Every structure is written in C-alpha cells, then in structure tokens.
Amino acid sequence: MSDSKADRAAIQGILDIEAPLQLQLSPDCKSVVYTTILKWYHTIDDGPPRTSPIWIADVGVANSARHLTDGLHNDRMPLWSPLEHQIAFLSDWVDNSGKSNALSLLDLDATEPGLLTPVGSERVITKFAFSPDGKAIACMTTDVGFEKAKSRKEATGRASVWGEDWDYVRLKLIDIESGEIRTNVNGRTHVVDFLVP
C-alpha cells in the first residue's frame, strides 16, 4: 500500500469515528443509552443516508456497548422510564427520511420495540417525558405533519398571514398500557414546553 493510500485510509478512519450523542443515564445509574453521530455529518463510502441505532452500555465496564435497536432506522432521543426496564425513543420506521416520527417503547426484555404513536406520521414531536410512575408519556406534537401544512398553504394560493394557519403544538398524554392518546391542550393554544416533576 502506498503512503498516499495509507494516509487516505487513516484520515477516513478518523472521519468515520462515531461520537456519542443524547446520553441518558438509567435511573439506577448502572447503564447509559445513547445514539451516535459522525462528527462531520458525512456518509461513509458514499453510501445511503446514515441511520442511527440506539446503544446501551454498562457504566464503568469497558467494551460493554451494544445495539438496542437494529440500526435500520433513524432512532433518536432515547429516554429511560422511571421503571428502569423500558426506553422510549423517536424513530422514522417507515421511510428512514427523518420526516416521519413514531414514538416507540422498547422493553429491555423484548426483542422489538412497540409503537406508541401511529407509524409514518409526519407530525413533529418536539419533546416527550415519562410520568413519575412510568405509566404514561407526555409529548408535544403538532396537529398536522409539515408536508400537509405545506400543501395546505400551496392549495389556497394566498399569502401566508402570520398566525392564521399556525400549526399549533399540542400537549398529549399517552397511556402506555392502553395506547390511548389524549390531547390535553386544544384550541388556539400553542405549547412551548412542559415539566414533569
């Protein structure tokens, strides 16, 4: 191997190092879940768009990191349940485009995550959190997806008036056991944040 090929391979190896992102410590502080990102946001070997699995590792144990999700989707924002055996996260299960959002729940004893919100939804989920007892998840989400909002504005053929076609963010509560999704804030109200004690 020539020096230039070796140098190129060494540089590519450095560029392809994945950095941990969105680290979440388990309630018992024994494990951590996280996603990874390529430092320079590039694709490896001009391949398809990069997906992101959820990883888990034991705190203080070398080489204990392993995939929790299969890496076929853009899984992100992992969050531990107060019950310690479940992890909620966002995923683009349908098209890997990053546009669709499904709030998923993975029981650490199961092999596949379950869905808490409809698959393929383009509704933007900006934040979610478990209730203190771990039986429900509160989330902030829009009423319509961004593609529907865009086509709605294009179909009217009129100028956008600030606040007229506002895509309000709603506060919703998801019952984990029943799957029921209840909207807690309706009307012309836009939620910007919430706090779970």
Domain ranges of the chain: 12-116, 122-197
Helical spans, DSSP H, in 45-188: 146-156
3-class DSSP assignment, residue 58:
strand
CA distance 184 to 161: 27
Domain 12-116: CATH class, spelled out: mainly beta
pTM greater than 0.85: no
| 197 residues of the chain, pLDDT tens digit each | 457 888 888 887 777 778 888 999 999 999 999 998 776 665 555 555 567 889 999 999 999 999 888 877 788 899 999 988 999 999 887 555 556 678 999 999 887 888 888 776 677 888 999 999 999 999 998 876 555 555 656 666 666 666 666 778 889 999 999 999 999 887 778 888 898 87
Reference 91, options 128, 61, 40; nearest CA is 128
